[in-house]
Amino acid sequence: MKNRKAPAKRPEAIAPEPRPAGWQWLHPALLAVAAFLLAFEIYSPALSGPFLLDDLYLPFDDPNASTLYSVWFGGQRPMLMVSYYFNWMQSGIASTTGYHSINVLLHWLSALLVFAIVRRLAGPTAGVVSAIAAGLFLVHPVQTEAVAYIAGRSDGLSAFFCFAAILVFVLGREAGVGWGRAAAILALFAAAVLTKENAAILPAALIAMDFALEGTAALKRNARLHAPVAAAGALGAGYVLWRLSYSTTAGFNAGTPWQHYFYTQCRVFWRYVKLIVLPVDLNVDPDFAISKSLADPAAAAGLAGIVALAAAAWIFRRSMPLASVGFLIFLILLAPTSSFFPIKDLVAERRLYLPFLGISLIAAGLMRRAPWGVFPLSCAGGVVLLALSVWTHDRAKVWSGETELWEDTVKKSPRKWRPRFQLADAYYQQQRFADANREFAAAATLDKPDVRLLVNWALSLDSGGDPAGALDKLSQAAAIEKSAHVLALTGMVHGKQGRAEQALAALAEAERIDPGHAPLFTYRGNVYGGQGKWTEAAAEFRKALAIDRNEAGARRGLTVAARNGAR
């Protein structure tokens, strides 16, 4: 009888994690504390940064925020909005530190989950490798947008739930996932999807991980998980498609045909790879051209490269399981935002936050194969993490203020309209009117001026002492759209110059268009006040407050009118 051959040992054996005993918990605990301090240190410049971009569309500054229960608890992304609600209850809009601190705290907790996932998959002897891999997730500069940006919490919180689900999965994967563990994963998956829709891809990542590591045997062993999670994933995908059906910033109504978006993402993928390897061109609003067909050589080459890497990951999944699984997870978790479903912004660094787990696994797999001892690996990893930490600290400074962010963006995207407009608006808010007017003028050369640009430019010119220029811009805006807002501002500028007849004519036309536009009555009250007609002025201020009780100008005007004997 022939002797049966012993099975070949895999180069990266995945062994079960033993229970810590005695003082073995001390090193992980110290690492966790050090990671906590490091996270808050590198993001310290942004901890008091203002509300920016999409932050301004959240209900923090709404006068009725305390009664918007349907928005806080029953609207879109309810898990995310609940987290914002508790911040708002604590700080309102007086301080942003609490909002930013929660983002950094979530980032730290997610890094701990990444450490636990990598260590479980890499084996119990891979503590240093796991720490460095998790450290990359913690300190890499490409993570800054998701962490330093308050609205970036959607990525941070959904990734936290996804990583928790993946950890629960890998802890029970080899022995077979039971019903209790499957229920926990489903609950975490639901929380992730209710935080941000791209988490609906998680079931595909779990199935791919199981199949790549052990094939169909693992899928059968964990059928108690994969069957219900796949069903939940289908429901999640349906929910996402329903959301996309009426969205104008994502989905098939976003303005870019899905084919063009896909061809473009074949190039965007390699920009993301470049930013991970060498994060020297981080930019909140990059100027990225659309590819309309595979006749674009860069798009064709990008797609060929992605297919080649995916094929290599599959071929080498036995000899390099960690790196191969890492690449597949990276590709799968990136797919919702970088494949066929158009999003208005072609590129966004925060979209790498969830897929970065795959980068950590790739790094761990490569380190496991390096012919170095623990000490050289620790030194090399420490140097890399220190350099990245300094880089991230510098990037966090860019997120410390609106002007800093848009100055950096304009420097990197000088030919893009939006950064110029945003920088001009930031200068205007800081009463740097000459700088604002320069940037408004530059924006107007990059694209045909719209009403919003012309109106804001007019306000800046008026505040900077150029009422004639302001009226010219308002006239251009009225030629595009003769709205009550534009005409009321025209009346305001005339009134400030003492031209009561022109002011009242413009305000009367504004009222004919929209009698519910509260500011026009405030401006008319100011005109009457300038003429000494305080009773008529008070009547106008009361009309404004009847329409909008939060009309601050009318409230101040009514006080002044009362002091001047208005009835």
Q: What percent of the chain has pLDDT over 70?
A: 93
Across 183-202, average pLDDT: 93
Tell me if 166 sits within 8 A of 118, measured CB to CB: no
Mean predicted confidence (pLDDT) in 286-303: 95
Pull the structure tokens for residue 414: 């000088």
What does residue 550 show for φ and ψ, rounded to 5 degrees? -100, 10
pLDDT digit string, tens, across residues 84-138: 999 999 988 889 999 999 999 999 999 999 999 999 998 877 889 999 999 999 9
Q: Which of 202, 214, 178 is nearest to 14 (CA)?
A: 214
Minimum mean pLDDT range among 52-56, 330-334, 422-426:
52-56
Q: What confidence tier does 69 reach under pLDDT thresholds 50, 70, 90? A: confident
Instruction: Check residue 11 and give its pLDDT.
Output: 43
pTM over 0.85: yes
DSSP letter at 250? Answer: B
Q: What is the pLDDT of residue 3?
A: 43
Q: Report d(CA 8, CA 6) in Å as an integer.
A: 6
DSSP state of 27: H
Q: How far is the C-alpha of 8 from the C-alpha of 322, rounded, in Å?
A: 18
Does residue 48 contact residue 400 with C-beta atoms inside 8 Å?
Answer: yes
Of 23-37, 63-77, 317-331, the range with the lowest mean pLDDT is 63-77
**Which pLDDT belongs to residue 390?**
97
User: Could you give the percent of the chain with pLDDT greater than 90?
Assistant: 72
CB neighbours of residue 281 within 10 Å: 10
Instruction: Say if residue 167's pLDDT is above 70.
Output: yes
CA–CA gap between residue 369 and residue 95 (Å, rounded):
48
Interacting residues of 181 by C-beta distance below 8 A, sequence separation 6+: 168, 169, 171, 172, 225
More reliable by pLDDT, 141 or 10:
141
- pLDDT per residue over 13-46, tens digit each? 434 444 444 556 778 888 999 999 999 999 999 9
Q: Between residues 217 and 233, which one has the greater pLDDT?
A: 217
Quote the pLDDT of residue 530.
92
In the prediction, which pLDDT does 248 show? Answer: 65
Mean pLDDT of the chain: 90
Whether the per-residue pLDDT at 341 is higher than 80: the answer is yes
Q: Rounded CA gap, 458 and 368, in Å? A: 61
Q: What are phi and psi of 250, to 5 degrees?
A: -150, 150
Positive or negative torsion for Cα 370, 375, 381, 383: negative
**Per-residue pLDDT at 163 exceeds 90:** yes
* pLDDT value at 344 more than 50: yes
Give the tens place of pLDDT for each residue, 141-159.
Answer: 999 999 999 999 999 999 9
Encoded tokens for 435: 């700088």
pLDDT in the model for residue 63: 74
Kindly state the average pLDDT of the residues 317-342.
93
Asked if 336 contacts 261 with a C-beta cutoff of 8 angstroms, the reply is: no
What was the pLDDT predicted at 9?
A: 42
Q: What is the mean pLDDT of residues 307-315?
A: 95
**Residue 302: pLDDT above 90?**
yes
Q: Which residues contact 263 (CB under 8 A, 6 or more apart)?
A: 290, 291, 292, 293, 294, 296, 299, 303
How does pLDDT run across 251-269, given as a tens digit for each residue?
666 678 989 999 999 999 9
Q: Rounded to whole angstroms, how far apart are CA atoms 401 and 68? A: 28
